[in-house]
Structure 1
Amino acid sequence: MARVTADRVEKTKRVLLEAARQVLTDEGFAGLSTRRVAEVANTQMSQIRYHFGSKEGMILALFEYMNAGLIKRQRQTFFNPSLRISEKWFLACDFLDEDIQSGYVRVFQELIAAGWSNPKIGDAVREALAQWHELLTALAQEAVEEHGDIGPFSAEAMGSLIACAFVGAEALILLGYEEQIHPVRKALRQVGETIAKLEDLQKERHSHAR
């Protein structure tokens, strides 16, 4: 009986979080209210208070719910020894497309703005960024070990630049700034193409050295 109750609680929470994601994606942070989420989830507002305590608690739970799966996905990709660095970069570009479609990018960007004035939301966003930066730094360190120093940049600095590139790209895409003269996603993929050429060149050099 306890197991059934626990499963039911988790199912209810998932339904509420998916409803919150839909409202935030469709109507933005300004349109996100416990009343609206309850309407979309076809339940009572008391369920939101019971499971999350408040609107803020619901928002924080939503972000944790969405971010956990993405960090796991990134870890599996970046720590896959069978993939070249360029292949990992191209997959990151694919993930950007997926995350725009799923609504995660909209949620993330909305919460960045909300975090400017809400300390708890700001803490949650900074923690998520720190996790992502850690993965990017590890990827940059892998590039240094395989191809040598990246100019004057440390792995940490390169990780920061990559994070800024993707977060900035997300913001511009959501603003509709991605046009023929501002090909944001194309430019990111061209970085991957440049990495691939360097990898091929280094492989060719090693082959000749033998």
Structure 2
Amino acid sequence: MISKEENLLRSAEILFAEKGFSGTSTREIAKAANVNISMISYYFGSKEKLYEKLFEFRINESLSFSKDIISNDKLDEWEKMVVVMDRYADRVKNLKPFYLILQREQLANRNPVINEFLKKSKKGFLAIYSELIQKGLDREIFTKNPRLEFVHSTVSGTIFTALNTLPTYKEFFEGDEDYEMQYFEEIKIHVQTILKHLLGYEIQQ
């Protein structure tokens, strides 16, 4: 069972994705969450603060699971890289409303608090990839040391764009539900193939 605060965040997330920040009222959020409108002030203080909290919640959630993977001693560095990438793909697929909001906010660049959360997310993943690559090189799992920026942009950029554009691809190819399921799984394989080349992992196999 989720808390009232998280319930408000999730309800607001859907509305912000559908109607935008300016087009969503606190009354609509309260109604969607089935709570009194005063609960928004109680938990967040304002709609703006609720919006900022949504970014903080989702970004901390993402970085937290990634750090848990890094600390798993049962996996080698390549396996950890694959799990981080797979989990990111799952999040983009399953949290479409949030990633739509995130895309808009990156373009708008209007809220300095949210900009800091976005920087935190990017720097957090850069640190994760840096650690994995360095340890993989030390253990001779990887034979190449690519630019960290390219690794990050390959994973996040490819997955985000591919899933964001899926409805257009599906329409163009007249795809059905099976097309969507196959497409989603093949995105992961596609990114793995690129990463193997960038890291020199495939050469050893």
Pairwise TM-score range, normalised by the shorter structure: 0.7 to 0.9
Alignment CA distance shift 1:97-1:27 (3 Å): farther
1 CA distance for matches of 2:90 and 2:25?
26
Q: Which residue of 2 aligns with 1:173?
A: 163
Which deviates more from structure 2 when the two are superposed, residues 130-139 or residues 81-90?
Answer: 81-90
1 CA distance for matches of 2:14 and 2:27?
14
Alignment CA distance shift 1:17-1:174 (3 Å): same
Q: Aligned pair 1:53/2:56, yes or no?
A: no
- Conserved in 1, the CA contact under 8 Å of 2:143 and 2:201? no
2 CA distance for matches of 1:109 and 1:131?
21
Q: Deviations over 1:74-101 (max 9, x none)?
A: 1121232321222122212321332023
Q: Which residue of 1 aligns with 2:150?
A: 161
**In the alignment, which of 22, 27, 32 is matched to residue 40 of structure 1?**
32
Q: Deviations over 1:151-178 (max 9, x none)?
A: 5x4xxx32x2222122213134213366
SS class of match (1:150) = coil
2 CA distance for matches of 1:172 and 1:60?
27
Q: Aligned pair 1:77/2:69, yes or no?
A: yes
Q: Aligned pair 1:86/2:72, yes or no?
A: no
Q: Aligned pair 1:107/2:98, yes or no?
A: yes
- 1:64 CA drift (Å): 1.8
- Conserved in 1, the CA contact under 8 Å of 2:59 and 2:117? no
**In the alignment, which of 190, 193, 202 is matched to residue 190 of structure 1?**
193
Structure 2: segments with no counterpart, 5+ residues: 174-182
Structure whose CA Rg is larger: 1
- 1:137 CA drift (Å): 1.2
The one-letter code matched in structure 1 to 2:84 is A
The one-letter code matched in structure 2 to 1:163 is H
- Conserved in 2, the CA contact under 8 Å of 1:172 and 1:178? no
Alignment CA distance shift 1:94-1:30 (3 Å): farther
- 1:193 CA drift (Å): 5.5
Identity, in percent, stands at 19
Q: What is the RMSD of the two structures over their aligned residues, measured on CA atoms?
A: 3.1
- 1:125 CA drift (Å): 1.1
Alignment CA distance shift 1:191-1:101 (3 Å): same
1 CA distance for matches of 2:78 and 2:5?
38
Q: Which residue of 1 aligns with 2:180?
A: none
Q: Which residue of 2 aligns with 1:3?
A: none
2 CA distance for matches of 1:132 and 1:74?
8
Give the alignment's TM-score, normalised by structure 1: 0.72
Q: Which residue of 2 aligns with 1:128?
A: 121
Alignment CA distance shift 1:26-1:86 (3 Å): farther
Work out the number of aligned pairs and report it: 185
